[in-house]
Structures are given as C-alpha cells and as structure tokens.
Amino acid sequence: MYCPQCGHQTDGGNFCEKCGSPLPGQSGHQHAAQTGAAAKQAAKQFGSFVLSVLKRPYQECKATGGEQLISAIITMVLFSLLTPLMFYILFSDGPGSVSFTAIFLEPTIYFILFLFGLHACIFFALKIAGNQVSFKDSFSRFGAFLIPFTAILILALFFFLLHTDICFTILAVGLIGAFFAIPPAMLGSYQHSYKGKIDVIYSTIVIYLIICVTFQLIIEHYVKEIFRYMLF
C-alpha cells in the first residue's frame, strides 16, 4: 500500500509511517488476502515446529517457551478430537443409533478439560517446587510434549480406518504414554530451577492419582454408552 500524500510504501495500518497522513481503508479483498496469508504462514510455522519436535522431542520441548502458545492450543484440541472420533466412527458402522453428543462431543470436551486440568496440576507442582515459570510458558511446553503422542493417535486412526486390530494397541500407547510420560518429562525439564522444599516425586504421585481417577471416569462413560448402544 502506498500513501496518497507522500507515496511512501507501507505494510498497512491507519496512518502513513513517514508523513502521518491517514491511509485509505482496505477493501474486503485485500483484508481477505492478508488473512489468508497470515493463516498460511501460521500453518507453515506450526508444521515446522511439529517436525522439529518429532525429530528431537525432549530437547526441542525443553527449549519451548510462550512463543508456541498457538501451536500448543492446536495440538491439545487435535489430541482431544482423535479418540472420540475413532469411537464415533466405530459405533456409526453398527446397526444401532449413535448419539453424536454422547459419543463425540462430550468426550472431546472432557479430554480438553482434562488436559487443561493436567497442565494446571503440573504448573501448580512447579510453583510449589519454587519455579518461577509463567503459565503461558509452561502451557506452551506442555503442548509441545503432547505432539509425539498426538502423532501416535493419528497413526492409530490411520490403522483404524484400515480395519486392523492393532489400532487399539496404538491408541492405548498414545493415551497412556501422554498421561503418564508428560508429567515427569515436564517436571524434569525445569529441574535446574527448583528451589522449594516439596520433592517433585510426591507431586508426580499426586498427579498420577488424579490421572487414574479421570481415566476411570472416562472409561465408565464409554462403557455406559456401549451398553446403551447394545441394548437399544
């Protein structure tokens, strides 16, 4: 865009960077083009970050900070969608009626809330240990640690669509690995800055107890839906 007063080229905004004159408003086409370019750039950065994490998971995750917040959110949402999607497809292939809300929507929300709660527990444990990390930085790092396990769930979905029994084994590895490997990995990545009196082992034990209780609730939900599906 060029300023109509002095001819200076600017990247956008309401006023010229050189002379301060008001700039003409952007058209809908220009705004859509800029939005598309920004989305494309964000997708490219996310893909590059995912590949770097998959190549060297712990080293890359340990160096991750708040700059990867958007990537963390995308990963957590994707992770939460995959398992309910598999079960919804599984039940949809049967003769009975399937509740989209009960099989897909509600479990997805439960997974998202559980991941947020799991990170909150880890963040609380870090604070008790005397770490000065910010919520944004720890949340971004949590999302980075989730990337390899999200890739495992995607692999499970792929084998599920091929109708192979190994898909459920891969699914279990992805879920159990994420819930039980990420807490100690997260706590270990901040071990250089521990100053508190509470040992991280006890924090990990408490987090594992919370995970087990949540796992039980999720399994009970699906068992009830399976019985309802089989009976009706």
> How far apart (Å, rounded) are the C-alpha atoms in residues 86 and 76?
17
Between 162 and 33, residue with greater pLDDT = 162
Q: Is the pLDDT of residue 68 over 70?
A: yes
Spell out the domain ranges in the chain. 1-55, 57-231
| Res 201: pLDDT | 78
pLDDT of residue 174: 95
**pLDDT tens track for 139-151:** 999 999 999 999 9
The fraction of the chain above a pLDDT of 90, given in percent, is 44
Strand partners, 22: 15
What is the spatial distance between Cα 5 and Cα 20, in angstroms, rounded to a whole number? 9
Using 50, 70 and 90 to split pLDDT, how confident is the model at 226? low
Asked whether the CA dihedral 127, 131, 135, 139 is positive or negative, the reply is: negative
Which range has the worst mean pLDDT, 49-53, 94-98, 115-119, 217-221?
94-98
Mean of pLDDT over the chain = 84
Burial class (CB in 10 A: 0-12, 13-18, 19+), 194: middle
Six-digit token string for 194: 């521990």
Banded pLDDT at 40 (limits 50, 70, 90): confident
pLDDT digits (tens, 9 = 90+) for 197-207: 667 778 888 88
pLDDT per position as a tens digit, 138-193 = 999 999 999 999 999 999 999 999 999 899 999 999 999 999 999 999 988 887 76
43-50, long-range: CB < 8 A, 24+ apart: 45/71, 46/70, 46/71, 46/74, 49/144, 50/75, 50/147, 50/151
Which pLDDT belongs to residue 8? 64
Least confident of 29-38, 91-100, 117-126, 154-163: 29-38
pLDDT of residue 29: 59
Query: What are the distances in angstroms from CA 221 to CA 93, 171, 210, 229?
Result: 20, 17, 17, 12
CA 32 to chain centre: 27
> Does residue 20 come out as left (phi exceeding 0), alpha (psi in the -120 to 50 range) or beta?
left
